[in-house]
Amino acid sequence: MLLTLADAAEPTDTLGELHSDAQAVYWLARCPQTGDMQLWGWTAGSNEAPQCLIEDAVGSRVNQYGGGSYTPLLGGVVWVRQQDQAIMHLDHHDASHCWQKRPQTAYGGLCADPKRQRVLAVEEDTHGQRLIALTASNRHVLTEGADFYGAPILSDDGNYLAWVSWSLPNMPWQRSQLHLAQVAANGRLEAFERWDFGAAISQPQFGPHNALICMSDHAGWWQPWQVNLASPLCLSSDPVDHITTPWQLGERQHAWRSSRQLYCQLHQGAAQLYRRIGEQVEALLPAPGRVASITLAEHGDYAIVQSATSGAQLIHFAENRPRRCLVGNIMGNLAGSLNLVDSLVTKAPAAAQWLEAPVGSEGDTVHGFFYSALESHYAPLIVRIHGGPTAATYPVYDPLVVYWQQQGFHVLDINPRGSGNFGRSYRECLAGQWGISDTDDVIALVNAACLRFAIDKTRCFIRGQSAGGFTALNALAATPLFTAATSLYGVTDALTLAAKTHRFESGYLGWLIGDEPLLAQRSPAYQVSRCQRPLRALFIQGGKDVVVVPEQTHAMARHIQRHGGQAQTLLFDNERHGIRHPKARQTMLARELAFYQ
């Protein structure tokens, strides 16, 4: 069955931020009408369908990428209203109350403290960040002084608090510190401890007997370490990443409870979910894909996952019983009767083929996933570059890939050096090399694809979003291999971006590229001016984007036109860094398809 444009416009991140309490499991789901995230819940063990608990948009804007935007508390939920970043409380009578609202202040990384009937959160304003504790009538600062704070986590008995901090110019996947403190009877923190392994620490969790377990990549991979011992102990020495790059607060991809553990491992860019009970370990997914979020509860284990044959699913893994899909689809069959899942039906699975090519001079390789056109063996190619640049692409069902396959295009998703999920050294290959190694990687992998598959070399297109737009435009200028490029809110002028971008990434470009002359020279704006060929590009931009401001996109389009090329610009006034509204996404993809055709 052919996908429609509306099908293709469905984002892959339709579910996220999984939580549970003694009675229920909770998650965020993207509203099909608005593209906003809403809060849903399901009473454990019931035959009732999941219910939408909060119809308003739920979402944090801390660091611009948010995360940790709600938490269950005392039979209700405390959540961040996306529109104004107010802290709201939905009580057990389904009545909403505003706990906290401050101008130009964002909240994220929410953590329930039921023992004290309060919530802990990262608070961000123009002065910086801090960890705070909130009730309906009180706010006090728990700790401050670092540039940034990761989502806090309380021990089950409420006596200990752990969190991560980092300071500029570092990003949380470069170098961060782990903190532990006792929570006194008055709710204040005391007896502070701190760990710094000279690398990146992420996702602290408490296990049995208040064991503090975090993911640290000081040994080369994000692996679980128990740290509150005489000597830190690695709990899984397998040489693979066990979590993804921490762009958001409140991410949870491992959990440890009594004799039960749930954790991920990423092999060749795909995640498998494992459960350990005692000495027995079982893989919970039929095939590796993507694990977005997990939670453990007395009533079962839950995970939001994606696979090669399905969109996002919320799966319940009960002991000694078959897995149950609560929301989403299984091989194209609906599970549930909600509009929420209507858009997740798989109409034509996309089969990914692993592809790699040698790059550099030290035996490095670049990786990607190739999807063949469905109707034509000899076909044009669309190359996709993810953002970050430390994000990653996965071999999972993406309706846009299937749509393009059905329209007669091959698709190549690339994980250039610098991408997540392949260890610290692969990520750090990009240090000082952005604008060089990523361009080389794209060219190398596309050439490898052209040798292996029947590709129309006169119609190779490249697209990238955010940081991927930077790579796409540089590759367009570097080689006649590409006919045209699409930049989705992409970086075009690194020098200007370094001066205007938000605080979270304000030191990142120095690590990626270097000083001001290099920032200018590596930018697409400079590379296009040196190119002797007229270039063709499509620019898609949100009018409210504060990560890559619209002025950059407009200037780049004019730059291409001044140098004899063709540039089209599509601006969505009400969108931010990412095009979310379903109608806007349909407009965007229709324009992009016409551009390629």
* pLDDT value of residue 577: 87
Per-residue model confidence as pLDDT tens digits over 161-213: 999 999 999 999 999 999 999 999 999 999 999 999 999 999 999 999 999 99
CATH of the domain at 502: 3.40.50.1820
The percent helix, strand, coil of the chain (3-state, each to 5) is 20, 40, 40
**Cα–Cα distance between 26 and 53 in angstroms, integer?**
9
| Within-domain flag for 475 | yes
Q: Concatenated DSSP letters for 465-518?
A: ETHHHHHHHHHHHH-TT-SEEEEES----HHHHHHHS-GGGTTHHHHHT-SHHH
| Within-domain flag for 538 | yes
| Within-domain flag for 72 | no
Q: Are the C-beta atoms of residues 74 and 53 closer than 8 Å to each other?
A: no
Q: Say whether 18 sits in a helix, a strand or coil.
A: strand
Q: Above 90 in pLDDT, residue 340?
A: no
Q: Above 90 in pLDDT, residue 347?
A: no
Q: With both helix axes pointing from N to C terminus, report the angle between 437-452 and 467-478 in degrees, rounded to the nearest 10.
A: 70
| Within-domain flag for 386 | yes
**pLDDT category of residue 552 using cuts at 50, 70 and 90:** confident
Per-residue model confidence as pLDDT tens digits over 131-144: 999 999 999 999 99
Q: Are the C-beta atoms of residues 164 and 250 closer than 8 Å to each other?
A: no
**Cα–Cα distance between 386 and 392 in angstroms, integer?**
6
Q: Cis peptide leading into 389, omega within 30 of 0?
A: yes
| Within-domain flag for 412 | yes
Greater pLDDT, 491 or 382: 382
* pLDDT value of residue 350: 56
Q: What is the DSSP letter of 530?
A: H
Q: Are the C-beta atoms of residues 426 and 347 closer than 8 Å to each other?
A: no
For 59, 168, 280, 359, 528, the CA distances from 66, given in Å and listed in that order, are: 7, 18, 36, 35, 34
Q: Above 60 in pLDDT, residue 523?
A: yes
| Within-domain flag for 478 | yes
| E strand residue ranges, 159-209 | 160-166, 177-183, 189-195, 201-206
Residue 227 CA to chain centroid, in angstroms? 26
Q: Are the C-beta atoms of residues 474 and 524 closer than 8 Å to each other?
A: yes
Q: Are the C-beta atoms of residues 170 and 101 closer than 8 Å to each other?
A: no
Q: Are the C-beta atoms of residues 380 and 461 closer than 8 Å to each other?
A: yes
| Within-domain flag for 139 | no
Phi–psi pair at 504, nearest 5 degrees: -55, -40
What is the domain count for the chain?
A: 1
Average pLDDT estimate for 254-280: 93
For 132, 248, 392, the CA distances from 171, given in Å and listed in that order, are: 22, 12, 17
| Within-domain flag for 46 | no
* pLDDT value of residue 13: 85
For strands 379-385 and 455-465, give the pairing: parallel
CB-neighbour burial class of residue 238 (10 A; exposed 0-12, middle 13-18, buried 19+)? exposed
Average pLDDT estimate for 264-281: 94
**pLDDT category of residue 332 using cuts at 50, 70 and 90:** very low
Could you tell me which residues are beta bridge partners of residue 265?
272
Q: Above 50 in pLDDT, residue 214?
A: yes
Residue 406 CB partners (closer than 8 Å, separation 6+): 2, 3, 348, 374, 375
The angle at the Cα of 63, spanning 57 to 64, to the nearest 5 degrees, equals 45
For 6, 215, 271, the CA distances from 327, given in Å and listed in that order, are: 20, 29, 20
Average pLDDT estimate for 465-491: 95
Widest distance between CA atoms in the chain: 70
* pLDDT value of residue 343: 39
pTM score of the predicted model? 0.91
Task: Record the tokens describing residue 90, joined without a space.
Answer: 């939905």
* pLDDT value of residue 349: 52
Most confident range, picked from 338-347, 409-418, 501-510, 517-526: 409-418
* pLDDT value of residue 270: 96
Phi–psi pair at 342, nearest 5 degrees: -60, -35
Query: 34-37: long-range contacts (C-beta < 8 A, 24 or more apart)?
Result: 34/581, 34/582, 35/11, 35/580, 35/581, 35/582, 35/584, 35/585, 36/82, 36/580, 37/69, 37/82
Could you tell me which residues are beta bridge partners of residue 314?
304, 327
Q: Are the C-beta atoms of residues 332 and 348 closer than 8 Å to each other?
A: no
Q: With both helix axes pointing from N to C terminus, report the angle between 582-596 and 399-406 in degrees, rounded to the nearest 10.
A: 30
Report H helices in 183-238. none
Percentage of the residues of the chain whose pLDDT score is greater than 70:
96
**Cα–Cα distance between 144 and 227 in angstroms, integer?**
23
Residue 428 CB partners (closer than 8 Å, separation 6+): none
Of the candidates 226, 140, 219, the residue with the CA atom closest to the CA atom of residue 180: 226
Greater pLDDT, 257 or 141: 141
Q: Where in the sequence is the domain holding 526, given as residue range(s)?
A: 377-596
Q: Above 50 in pLDDT, residue 346?
A: no
Q: Above 80 in pLDDT, residue 130?
A: yes
Q: What is the DSSP letter of 269?
A: T
